[in-house]
Structure 1
Amino acid sequence: MKVKGTIEQTSLALALTGTMIYGRKTSFAFISKKDNLQNYVIFGIGDCFNANTIQHDDVCTEGSVKLLEIKDRWILLLHNGKKTGLVDEKHTSICKKS
């Protein structure tokens, strides 16, 4: 599935449960495992995390997921050299029903 132009939807087992945008440099994404939406972790732009545990990595490693960009209900990730997007599917499905 393509999101935001030419960026593909991530194949990682992640869910975007929300975003908070206060300004260009002060934005946050709420990310969880797809099967455990109520247990999210809050990340900011430039933060890295482990794709399996969804926990912050103090140092970004080659296998880390890095949060590059946060938009309204959409984020851009970098994992293993590939940029992918993640959409708040909960909101997307609500919009499609309207």
Structure 2
Amino acid sequence: MSMIQTGVLDLDSTSPLEERSGNTSTFTRVTFPTPFPAGATVIVIPAVQTFNGSQTPGVRIANVTTDGFHIRFNEVYATAIAKSDGLHTTETVGWIATTA
């Protein structure tokens, strides 16, 4: 039987681009209202709900566990090639988490 939880948060990024795998020091920790069962495989799907900044807020998710996950923006902007600078204004992000 699947378990589903949802949530919403206001998120911004005042930190430079994060490129190192495993470094979540600039991420925001989200804790699930109710932990998923031990051993469950949890899938998190985020969606930006607002359009406050002129560039696209690339959403990164890390360290998904049965208790929660980490999230941050890496702002995407276009020049001759797509780039990212990490900085982005506050946006509302909704998320849904479910078991596989």
TM-score tier by shorter-chain length is: under 0.3
User: TM-score, normalising length from structure 2?
Assistant: 0.28
Q: Which has the higher contact order (CA 8 A, sep 6+)?
A: 2
| Greater strand content | 2
TM-score of the two chains, using structure 1 as the length reference: 0.28
